[in-house]
Amino acid sequence: MKIIIGSDHGGLLLKNQIFQHLKDNGYDVDDVGTYTADSCDYPVIAKDLTSKVLESAENLGILVCGTGIGMCIYANKVKGIRAAHCTDTYSARLTRQHNNTNVLCLGERITGFGLGLDIVDEWLNASFEGGRHQRRIDMVNELDRMR
Ligand code: RB5
């Protein structure tokens, strides 16, 4: 399993903290940028990250921008991506257990470093429960056939 992380300039500092945290905890991490504080476009990063997440069903992605919202809007338009914008650990846990999310979105201007890392840990340590939740995900995926 690989964890791909990415941010725009608005999420750079939190993304870098997450990168180090995941490395320290032994995860295989791929950082797709951005790497400087220069202004950049979050859709470019989200496009790169989501395509890498989809290379393996085992992969997970973490996207950070100023609010986490632009990244989440983009990611959820990509077929096969289920992204959640989380500002608390309860939502982070439940969105793995019930929604089987494969991308977590965070807002650096909303969520501090301490809580941000806790949200990441809670999300990574939770597992999809399947059953009725898979049926509901299948119902959501029906939308892909209507586009
Ligand atoms: C950049 O200023 C900001 O718009 C971006 O980081 C993000 O919050 C967009 O949703």
Domain ranges of the chain: 2-146
Question: Model pTM?
Answer: 0.97
Tens digits of per-residue pLDDT, 47-63?
999 999 999 999 999 99
Tens digits of per-residue pLDDT, 68-84?
999 999 999 999 999 99
Any residues with Cβ below 6 Å from ligand 1, and which?
Answer: 8, 10, 42, 65-67, 69-70
SS3 state at 5: strand
Q: Write the CA distances from 146 to 78, 138, 139, integer angstroms.
A: 14, 13, 12
Output the CA 5–ligand 1 centroid distance in Å: 16
pLDDT tier at 64 (50, 70, 90 boundaries)?
A: very high
Tens digits of per-residue pLDDT, 96-136?
999 999 999 999 999 999 999 999 999 999 999 999 999 99
Neighbours of 2 (CB within 10 A): 15
Report phi then psi at 86, rounded to 5.
Answer: -120, 140
For ligand 1, atom 3, the nearest C-alpha belongs to 66
- Nearest atom in ligand 1 to the alpha carbon of residue 69 is 10
- State the CATH architecture for 2-146: 3-Layer(aba) Sandwich (3.40)
Active-site amino acid positions = 65, 98
